Amino acid sequence: MNIQAPPNLTEEHYERLLQGGIDDWGGVSPLTPDYINPEAPWPHLRDLKRRTEAAGQQLRQRLPVYPEFVSGVIDRGGLLAGRLLAASDDHGYARAA
């Protein structure tokens, strides 16, 4: 199971959330605002990374498909499989640019 928390709405609780088991900050974007909560801007990625790592976790970019499902989609073949194979690393996360 994956548990997601929006970092722009929970900034004062990052460490407690990570200790509690969240594993996904959601769709954080340095390019677009949070359209659902425009009054709460996304945190800067460097700050989010620093605080995530200080809590003993690693900030990694994921694809729209959670990493644990990437290999299953690739195994089925087809257009999506090819795109995922090209975009994902060996662990199912976004391939580093």
Would you write out the chain's pLDDT as a tens digit for each of its 97 residues?
899 999 999 989 999 999 999 999 988 988 999 999 999 999 999 999 999 999 999 999 999 999 999 999 999 999 999 999 999 999 999 998 7
Q: Is the pTM of this model over 0.85?
A: no
Give me the DSSP letters along 6-40: -TTT-GGGHHHHHHHT--B--S--SSS--SS-TTS
